[in-house]
Amino acid sequence: MPDSLLAALAGPGVGVLQAPPGWGKTTLVPPALLDESWLAGQRILLLEPRRLAARAAAARIADLAGETVGGPTAGYQVRLDRRIGPDTRIEVLTEGILTRRLQSDPGLDGVGLVIFDEFHERSVHADLGLALALDVRSGLREDLRLLVMSATIDGTVVAALLEDAPVVELGGSSYPVEDRYLAGTEPEDAVALALAETDGDVLVFLPGEREIRRAARRLDRLGAGLVVRPLYGALSPADQDLAVRPDTAGRRKIVLATTIAETSLTIDGVRTVVDAGLARVPRYEPATGMTRLITVRVSRSSADQRRGRAGRQAPGVCYRLWSQGERLAAHQRPEILDTDLASLTLELAAWGVTDPAELRWLDPPPAPAMTEARDLLVGLGALDGNGRITATGRRLVDQPRHPRLAHLVLRGAELGFAPTARTVAALLDEPDVLVGPADRRARDLTIRVDTLRGDAPPFGTSLRRGARHRVAQLAGGNATLRAADRDLVGASVALAYPDRIAARRSDQRGEFLLANGRAVSVPAEDSLADEEFIAVAEASGDRENGRIRTAAPIDRAEIETLFADRLERRRRVEWDRQRRDVIAVEERRLGAIVLSSGPVPDPAAGALSAALVEGVRSLGIDALGWSGRAVALRQRVRFLRAQLGDRWPDLSDQALIDDLTTWLGPHLVGCRRWADVERIDLSVVLSSLLGWNDGADLERLAPTRVVVPSGSRMRLRYEDPQQGPVLAVRIQELFGLSATPTVLDGRVPVVLRLLSPAQRPVQITDDLAGFWAGSYSEVRKEMRGRYPKHHWPEDPTQIGPSRRPGGRHE
């Protein structure tokens, strides 16, 4: 044991140990410290990130001491499994167990040293455990020693957190490992190559169970003398042990593993590693409240850990299935940045901490995820409005489950269906009990309960080995499983996930809306697709349309009974885009989903007006009932605004839309339907925007009609606000007129659209005198040829007009 490490623990009481894979940190350091004077009569807590690693470490330490697990030297405690004797000095624990110990015994009575092994994995439990242990050391137990161990973590960063703890770096004692890069090679092909080129057993790292099962099917064909062993978290301890121990028949072994085999584990006989370079990690999205699994490239530190498995007992080879030049991230992303923080938040509240900044962290918990977690816990009754733990919260924190599932067990017992609640909680707390293609595993959790109770599993699937025993352990025994009521499965799921109660959308089969407002779906052929209401336990985290993984049917009556205190009555008066009209309904709602609705006989006038205004915004200003008179008035005002400035109101489309409430709102009083809006006389509405003087000026400056020499009162059309109004008139009706008519007190000439006797356009001009003197002669020639019965004088200014084709001239 290095003197520098002994000095660090004896003096400051904190230290960071960095040593490469295979050095023996896990199994050699704790026993070597047992005889230190500062540890006399006290125990060591050795924390491991996984149950398999904890059991294996305790077994190895006990074996080196010539003892059995649970003897004087070493024992372990993981969830539902404890082998620690009254005199055991080294207790190997999974990281979450430490938090339970601290909550029940903050002073850690009888513990002299806590070792955080493989801390580079940065699980949320390890980060929380270290933060609480540091708090204990600073406030209750100055003599409590803390040691952080890892092969690949940045020791200086951890040392700074541990009050500038000494960093002890040790050289490698593992055997050399040769790297061979095989970019683009399938894992099974790389295994075949490794079997041909190397000796000993082969450890293959794959991202998840699905890839492991696929590889196992392909590798089983390689022939006799080989045995393929899977190794992942969902396997029973017995099956995990088969992968770790030497094959009893002496066959060459191929172990297909996830990240579970990266650290704190020596698999006897492994000389070769095949690393696909991938890992499957959870990513929690606070905005959706859902966690999705994504496949990522491993970090450089993880890749080095995997590589080190080949050099534990002899020189080895590591086949890396990526290019040698590929740049990997230095470290994996800490779990605390990407996980659901409800459990952490409840643990902090139980510790008396409402603000995580009160503790020391390598990476503080992200604020959005903390906010999401607090909101959930308040909804479960575990925290009060100030973030302090309640009596209910104390009961939840005593259960080794996520707060949602702890709440399910607690409320299920109170409501009289404890067996079902405990069974469903156990099912949701463990990996899927069914094995087989994902599309064959029924999404309906009721079918899983039926299978556990003895029914045949869905076609093409099987019950996972040991699943019934494991679920029974978590639920409280086989009697609990048998007593579970399938008709209460949906209600149980809803107690854990009230925000994920979902109502089927009426327009599409298999489409659902969650109470939290998110959309989720199942395939149209799924048994859940036609259910009116379901409770969703698991779904992908897609923001737009999540895919349901696990759910169960629930009745409307059950929702109304279980969540009576959360239901709200809401009157909804709003514009319905689909109906293109106002709807006024009273609804009973749970969050975003509607349980029942009916018409509102007397909606408030203000709400109706607001809804109709929204309707105008939705349909556009042109959807209003614009009469010819209203259109003309609007055009005249727009003309005056363009010519004279802001004295005149802005009646452009955008301005009218932007200010709908002001100019249209008062005229919507008494309107209930869109048809009522269409009957509004908009000319009256727009006229009300003008004062008395402006109304008089409007008639003078922008008249609607002008009298021509024939005596006709002709309409002026203000089509373009940047130029004068247009007058469409037959040429003969202007005979005798020498100057162009004007508006705006003579400042803007009228644009004359001159027509033939057949009302066809002949000329456009705003200079009548110029027309008579110029191009009229050419027009006259054409008109005389086409209309010989009409009089076409050489000088039209000297002859009277005519109202009728061929009529007399005045």
How confident is the model over 604-644, as pLDDT tens digits? 999 999 999 999 999 999 999 899 999 999 999 999 999 99
**What residues does CATH 3.40.50.300 cover in the chain?**
3-169, 177-337
What per-residue confidence (pLDDT) applies to 236? 85
Given a contact cutoff of 8 angstroms between Cβ atoms, the answer to whether 501 and 533 are in contact is yes
How far is the CA of 540 from the CAs of 135, 212, 232, 338, in angstroms? Answer: 37, 22, 22, 15
User: H helices within 529-681, ranges in order?
Assistant: 556-562, 605-619, 628-644, 653-658, 660-663, 674-678
Per-residue pLDDT for 543 more than 70?
A: no
Per-residue pLDDT for 808 more than 50?
A: no
How far is the CA of 510 from the CAs of 518, 519, 527, 548, 600, in angstroms? Answer: 14, 11, 9, 10, 30
The more confident residue out of 312 and 62 is: 62
N-term to C-term CA, the chain: 128
pLDDT in tens, 565-578: 999 998 889 999 98
Percent residues over pLDDT 70 in the chain: 98
How far is the CA of 523 from the CAs of 143, 435, 510, 535, in angstroms? Answer: 59, 20, 6, 16
User: H helices within 740-808, ranges in order?
Assistant: 768-773, 776-786
A 10 A CB-CB count for 712 gives 15
Reduced to 3 states (helix: H, G, I; strand: E, B; else coil), residue 462 is: strand
DSSP state of 170: -
Distance CA 572, CA 598 (A): 10
Would strands 581-590 and 167-169 be described as parallel, antiparallel, or unpaired?
Answer: unpaired
Reduced to 3 states (helix: H, G, I; strand: E, B; else coil), residue 767 is: coil
**Which tokens belong to 98?**
């430490």
A 10 A CB-CB count for 41 gives 7
Angle between helices 403-415 and 342-351 (to 10 degrees): 80
pLDDT range class, residue 542, cuts 50, 70, 90: low
Say which CATH class 177-337 falls into: alpha beta
Q: Give the pLDDT mean for 185-208.
A: 94
Distance CA 505, CA 521 (A): 10
Query: Closest by alpha carbon to 267, among 213, 320, 314, 219?
Result: 314
For residue 599, report the phi and psi dihedrals to the nearest 5 degrees.
-70, 150
pLDDT in tens, 23-57: 788 999 999 999 999 999 999 999 999 999 999 99
Q: Which one-letter amino acid corresponds to residue 249?
A: A
Would strands 581-590 and 593-599 be described as parallel, antiparallel, or unpaired?
Answer: antiparallel
**Which tokens belong to 729?**
């008139």
Given a contact cutoff of 8 angstroms between Cβ atoms, the answer to whether 519 and 545 are in contact is yes
pLDDT range class, residue 267, cuts 50, 70, 90: confident
Q: Give the pLDDT mean for 587-606.
A: 91
Per-residue pLDDT for 289 more than 90?
A: no
Q: What is the CA radius of gyration of the chain?
A: 41
Degrees, nearest 5: CA angle 658-664-669:
140
pTM of the prediction?
Answer: 0.77
**Which tokens belong to 768?**
């009548």
Distance CA 149, CA 114 (A): 11
pLDDT in tens, 324-342: 999 999 888 899 999 999 9
Distance CA 196, CA 206 (A): 20
Superfamily (CATH) of domain 3-169: P-loop containing nucleotide triphosphate hydrolases (3.40.50.300)
A 10 A CB-CB count for 645 gives 8
The sign of the CA dihedral 780, 781, 786, 788 is positive
Distance CA 306, CA 275 (A): 7
Reduced to 3 states (helix: H, G, I; strand: E, B; else coil), residue 679 is: coil
Given a contact cutoff of 8 angstroms between Cβ atoms, the answer to whether 343 and 399 are in contact is no
Query: Closest by alpha carbon to 780, among 754, 742, 809?
Result: 754
